[in-house]
Structure formats: structure tokens, C-alpha cells
Structure 1
Amino acid sequence: MRIGAIIQARMGSTRLPEKILKELNGKCILEHIIKRVLDSGVDICIVATTTNKIDDTVQTFCDEHNFICFRGSEDNVLERYYQAAKENKLDVIVRITADDPLKDSKIIRKAIDILLDGNYDYVSNTIKPTYPEGIDVEAFTFKTLEKAYKEAKLPSEKEHVTPYIWKNREIFNTYNFENEVDLSYMRWTLDTEDDYIFIKNIYSNFVGKENFSMQEVLEYIKDNPKILEINQGHIRNEGYLKSVKEEQG
């Protein structure tokens, strides 16, 4: 059983360009995410970027740090995942986005363990969100990914990788795990400049500590509740909802 995390990453973000190379405590965001993912115990971590010239920078970064880099379609991210997983002979895939530098390695591991122990096709904490946005994790089998790749038709299903899976739960054996307390109102992802200010504030409290947990961040927020006001006013899953709206005209 070969378990691999695939991190989708590109330089051309429309809302916050080149965000994946922004600095936090002396390291870029992409490096923080890779290290957090590797701490979950996956066998391999793959940075999946595009073939666009602008993403040569991502390739160079990976080469310099001895990280694995795969390059594929910009718009059809589902195809990019499928080809990256196939090339690296993955049996289980963990989907990670490169704009979540507060990912918790224990929660990533939890998704993997539930998938394997329950013999599920797909496991996530996103179908019914109860974790902060940015702590999202999805794990699925290669067979599931391959079926989605071959059958998904809508542009939103191809751009966002997993909608075909979780929209067809009569086909796939899925499981959603929940946090004890609903924290879905919290925004810990990076799409805007105010998100970066919020995350930078968090990281500044953990200088010298590589992989602090979600619980440690929650304790910091409990003592400093006003920092949640920094990046309020954004809709959860804004990118996916925008894609669906565009499909509907």
C-alpha cells in the first residue's frame, strides 16, 4: 500500500499571486506545508504544478529542496492528480492545497487511517465542515480517483478534483469525520492579503516550532480572540462556488 500526498501548487493565483512562496518564520509557505504533510507519515509527497512558464519557479524550488515535482494541466487539476498518482504508483492519495500552511499532520493521518480501516473509497472532513477552513483534508483510493477522472464532465469537477466523488455518494463509499466542536466559521486558509496577515500573526507566536497543531493554534486564538477579525467576511469554498456559478451562467 503506497500512500502519497499530492499538493496542488501554482504561482498564478488570481487573488494573491505567488502566495505559495510568501515567507513565514524564515521559510516559504510551500515548504511549511510539505514538512507538515510529511510528518503525517505518508510514503511520498508530490508537488503537482502546471506546465506554464510561470510555474518553472515551483519546479526550481522543488529541485533545490529535493522535493518531488510533477507538472500537468492548469485547468484540469483532476487530470493533473490522476497522472501524478499514476506516475508515482500511488494506492492512496491525500489531496492537499498549497494555500493551507496550518495543516495539522495528525488530522491528515486521521483521514488516512479512517480510509484504510473502514475500507472506504473517500474520506474527508469537508462534506459537512466542522474544522476551520484550511484544516481540510481528503483521502481516497487510486481506483476512486481513476473513476472520477474518466467520468467527471463538468469544468468545476475537473478544476476542483473531488466534487464528482462527493456528489455521487451512491457510487462511492464515503465517510466524513467531524470535530467535537463546530469550528467551520474560522478561516485559516490563504487567498487574500488579510489571510496572510492572520496566518503570519499565528506563525509569529510559534517561532522555532516547526509543526504546531490545530489545538495549539486554538489555544492561542482563545487568548487573542481579536485576531479572528483580521480576515472575516469571506465565503467558505469561495473558489468552488465561483466555478459552479460560472457553469450555471
Structure 2
Amino acid sequence: MYNNRGKIVATIEARMTSSRLPGKVLMDFCGKTDLQHIVERLGRSKYIDEIVVATTINEEDDPIIDLCKNIGCKYYRGSEEDVLLRVLEAAKSVEADYIVEITGDCPVTDWRHSDHIIEMFFSGEYDYVSNTIERTFPRGFDTQIFPVRILAEVNEITQNPVDHEHVSIYIYTHPEKYKLLNWKADEKMNHPQFEITLDTIEDYEFIKQIYEILYLKDFDFSAQDVVNLLIKHPHMIKSLENTDRKDPFKEQKEWKEKHEKTI
């Protein structure tokens, strides 16, 4: 527990039925799965007390449970559609007070970043701290912290399916309700055009290259190491221009407007 303030738990959302790249969380990088790498990288944190994988009751996710058992990681099985509720219940299952939310498509996540936002969170009376409110970091290094009680409140407040699919979106789109803090990247890390997330087979080949270069030299390579590598080898950099990415903010607003019209 960080200064005895309460139990800090990292939740990792993971399932086998991703629409664009099924089974991605168990894909191999240098002899270990994507999910195992994330667990091990977060496990080096100075402040995270426990890690729990938030997966679903779908039997197709049984291999995730097998992996968790093999590596000694806690897990929770919940709703496939309601990700917010799944993460909330996963956190409660290990008696968490605070959630550091990570998704299973970020195999280069950096525990140093998580520790920094934890320090920022406890530096004041904040409800939510992340490095994504304003996008300055590359995608793939997203990290955020908020109290379990806040997520429980959000679960009761909103029925918007977008809010329940994107766990913390309601919090950071309501600054009038919650005290937010954004961590802005310094000059060396300020490359929002970089994307290091595992969503397609092309992503897999890209991240596999990163692991084969960095992990074999230093298993605890940093986010800065990744960025430095991409700057040095620009031919490796993925373009965001043709990324087929949904806009959750637009979807959230559209659902709210439609719902309000029907009341």
C-alpha cells in the first residue's frame, strides 16, 4: 500500500474474442505471451499491490485462465459486454481501493509510467489521473488511476453503453463532476503519432520486432527505449493515417442525444 493510503490494484482487460485479432492476448513475443509480458512489466511497480486479469465468462477465455494459473496471477471472470462492470467487480474481488487500468493490447506498457501517475494522483485530492486526457504520449503507454468508489458511482450513474465499454470515459468527460489531472509527455516522449498497440497482425509483426531488439538486451526495457528505437529506425514506425479507429467520444454523445430525445 502506497503510504498506507489503500490497496492499489492494476486491472488488465483481456479476452480471446477480439474482432480484429482474435487470441491476441496469448500471442508470443520472445517466448512469452502478450498478457504475461504485461503482468510481468506491471509487477515491477513500486506501488501496485496486486494485479488482476479481468476476463469474461465466455468459455473461449478459458486459455486466459490457464495462463493466469500458470503464472500465479489473480483473475476475475465477468461480463463480456459490460467492461466497466467487469473491471469494477475484478477490483472488488481483490479488495482494491484504487484501480490502475491497463488494457490487454499494450505489451510495451511501462511500470515507471504507472508509478508516476500514482505519485501524481496522491499529490493532491484527485479523482482521476492519466496520460491520455490530452494525447501527448504514444498509444500503447496509456495508464490511469482512479478510486474504486468513483467507478462504482459511475456504474450507477450511466446506462450509456459507450461508458460501459470504455471503462473510464465517463469520468474524464465530466470535469464538472470530477477533479482530473493529465500527465503531459516531455519533449523526448511527446510522439502521439506513434502507435504501439496490438490490434492487427501488422501490429503483431511490428511489436515482435521491438521485442526482438529490446527485450533480448534488457527484459525491463522502458517506454523511452521504445521511442528512441522508433526515432532511430523510422522505417519501423506505423502510420496512424489509415487506422480504422472508432471514436468513442462521438458514440457517447450520439447515444446521449438519442436517449434524451426519447425521454
Q: TM-score normalized by structure 1? A: 0.94
Q: Cα 1:58–1:229, aligned 2, differ >3 Å: closer, same or farther?
A: closer
Q: Work out whether residues 99 and 189 of structure 1, in 8 Å CA contact, stay in contact via their aligned partners in 2.
A: yes
Deviation, 1:215, is 1.1
Equivalent residue for 1:240, pick from 248, 251, 255: 248
Match of 1:44 in 2: 50
Q: Work out whether residues 194 and 239 of structure 2, in 8 Å CA contact, stay in contact via their aligned partners in 1.
A: no
SS of 1:45 mapped into structure 2? strand
Match of 2:12 in 1: 7
Equivalent residue for 2:25, pick from 14, 17, 20: 20
Equivalent residue for 1:212, pick from 214, 221, 226: 221
**Amino acid across the alignment from 1:3:** I
Q: Give matches, 1:74-93, under 5 Å.
A: 74-93=80-99
Equivalent residue for 2:65, pick from 59, 64, 84: 59
Q: Percent identity?
A: 36
Cα separation, 1, equivalents of 2:250 and 2:65:
28
User: Once the two structures are superposed, what CA deviation does each residue of 1:13-40 show, in whole Å capped at 9, x if it has no partner?
Assistant: 0000000000001100000000111112
Structure 1 unaligned blocks of 5 or more:
none
User: Once the two structures are superposed, what CA deviation does each residue of 1:107-140 show, in whole Å capped at 9, x if it has no partner?
Assistant: 1111111111222110011110100001011100
Cα separation, 2, equivalents of 1:44 and 1:232:
37
Largest Rg, 1 or 2? 2
Q: Cα 1:169–1:244, aligned 2, differ >3 Å: closer, same or farther?
A: closer
Count of residues in Structure 1 that have an aligned counterpart in Structure 2: 248
Cα separation, 2, equivalents of 1:101 and 1:240:
22
Task: Name whichever of 200-209 and 6-15 sits farther off.
Answer: 200-209
**Amino acid across the alignment from 1:106:** R
User: Once the two structures are superposed, what CA deviation does each residue of 1:31-70 show, in whole Å capped at 9, x if it has no partner?
Assistant: 0000111112310000000000101111111112111010
Q: Work out whether residues 52 and 74 of structure 1, in 8 Å CA contact, stay in contact via their aligned partners in 2.
A: yes
Cα separation, 2, equivalents of 1:244 and 1:23:
34
Q: Give matches, 1:54-133, under 5 Å.
A: 54-133=60-139
Match of 2:261 in 1: none
SS of 1:117 mapped into structure 2? coil
Match of 2:150 in 1: 144
Q: TM-score normalized by structure 2? A: 0.89
Cα separation, 2, equivalents of 1:241 and 1:199:
27
Task: Name whichever of 138-147 and 6-15 sits farther off.
Answer: 138-147
Match of 1:169 in 2: 175
Cα separation, 2, equivalents of 1:172 and 1:232:
33
